[in-house]
Amino acid sequence: MAAATDGPTPGHRSVMGEPTTDGRFGDFGGRFVPETLVAACEELEAAFREAWADPAFVAEFETTLRDYGGRPSPLTECRNLSSQLGVRLLVKREDLNHTGSHKINNVIGQALLAQRMGKTRLVAETGAGQHGVATATAAALLGMECKVYMGAVDVDRQALNVFRMRLLGSEVESVQSGSRTLKDAVNEALRDWVATVENTHYCLGSVMGPHPYPWMVRTFHHILGDEAAAQCKDLTGGDPDVVVACVGGGSNAAGIFSGFADGDARLVGVEPAGGAAVGRGVPGVVHGMTSYLMQDEVGQVMEAESISAGLDYPGVGPEHAYLAAIGRAEYPSVTDDEVVEAFTLMSRAEGIIPALECAHALAWIVRAAPDMQGQTVLMNLSGRGDKDVDQMMDVLGMHGIDS
């Protein structure tokens, strides 16, 4: 297994290295939380630095991901889609991890860290439910109490994941405030943490929030980028020409980008058209960070609208804002219609039902393929689509066997 080498190593000079001491990636990041939580963020940062420098902690993290999480995940060459699209399409199979997505990497890291810090309770936000399920799983494994906040809109469209979390022993709270989606679930989780910080760890699910979360979460996901880089080298002799991942908050993209950021590969993060935080390019401050943020003309945060609950987020992780600002990565967006086509295409061409989130990445590849003929394209298939089949049955009108 590739070692998680990019910890807080002094002097590390990666494009995706350690943020500044005040948690900045360029102009982005920071620690914009109520005063009550500042000390908790500082304590978390110190604990993470200490743990990540401890070989015993890193070994426990990697062993758990191997023996329990199923790592390393394979790299699949998609021959049928490759011949259809005229590119060499390689797919990193995070959908095959335990709990069905890349999210397990981060929650195992944070849950082990929380336990090491003496915390007995986890809270989490979730959109599609993948991070909530992963957190509930880690809580069950480590014997911790767990409460997951999920927007009421998402509770309705992701009933299976709600059941999974409850089955795993977690409490799920349906969030009725604001737009009743992911951003409001984050607010509610933060409100919980403000009140329970003494015994509770906020297991944030993406590369967002106050320092050290964006950096810590990305570091826990490095393992997938490192694996992918080694697997690409074994298969093709080098880096791919293009690395593509979907971006909501941006954790799976950060994980896979981190394996290639210091090379020459083109990095592409695909946003939903209704949640294109980077694409609209207005800096703002919410959920603890300065980053690009969808907001109205006076600064009220706008509601994202996407077919995929996991990408229904008006902001983006601050390191992605930085990578966009310096021109190292690009962040195009795709429409819901393109996503539905890609979802069906991958299912039929490869026998892989992708999560709607990852279908965004494939949708962009389909659109851009004419300009990438003959190139090697690596896509992070960050999650499996089982959770989406109920919703897609309606979208595609494929109930029963006659339609």
Residues that bind another protein (CB under 8 A): 22, 30-40, 177-178, 183-184, 187, 190-191, 194-198, 283-287, 290, 293, 295, 298-302
Tell me if residue 232 is catalytic: no
The one-letter amino acid at 113: L
Tell me if residue 102 is catalytic: yes
Measure the CA–CA gap between 174 and 164, rounded to whole angstroms: 15
Measure the CA–CA gap between 403 and 397, rounded to whole angstroms: 7
The residue among 40 and 128 lying less far from another protein, judged by its C-beta, is: 40
Which two structure tokens, joined as six digits, stand for 364?
A: 């962009």
Residue 168: DSSP 8-state: T
Q: How far is the CB of 303 from another protein (least distance, A)?
A: 9
Q: How far is the CB of 38 from another protein (least distance, A)?
A: 5
The residue among 7 and 283 lying less far from another protein, judged by its C-beta, is: 283
Contact 318, 214 (CB under 8 A): yes
Looking up tokens 């070692």 gives 3
Nearest to 141 by CA among 61, 55, 58: 61
Contact 207, 254 (CB under 8 A): yes
Q: How far, rounded to the nearest angstrom, does the alpha carbon of residue 383 sit from its chain's CA centroid?
A: 10
Q: How far is the CB of 28 from another protein (least distance, A)?
A: 13
Q: How far is the CB of 125 from another protein (least distance, A)?
A: 12
Which two structure tokens, joined as six digits, stand for 51?
A: 């743990």
Which is catalytic among the residues 12, 41, 98, 102?
A: 102
**In 3-state terms, what secondary structure has residue 287?**
coil
Give Rg (Cα) of the chain: 19
The residue among 243 and 293 lying less far from another protein, judged by its C-beta, is: 293
Which is catalytic among the residues 78, 203, 232, 358?
A: 78
The residue among 91 and 289 lying less far from another protein, judged by its C-beta, is: 289
Q: How far is the CB of 109 from another protein (least distance, A)?
A: 24
The residue among 72 and 210 lying less far from another protein, judged by its C-beta, is: 210
Measure the CA–CA gap between 131 and 135, rounded to whole angstroms: 6
DSSP E strand boundaries for 221-265: 242-246
| Enzyme catalytic residues | 78, 102
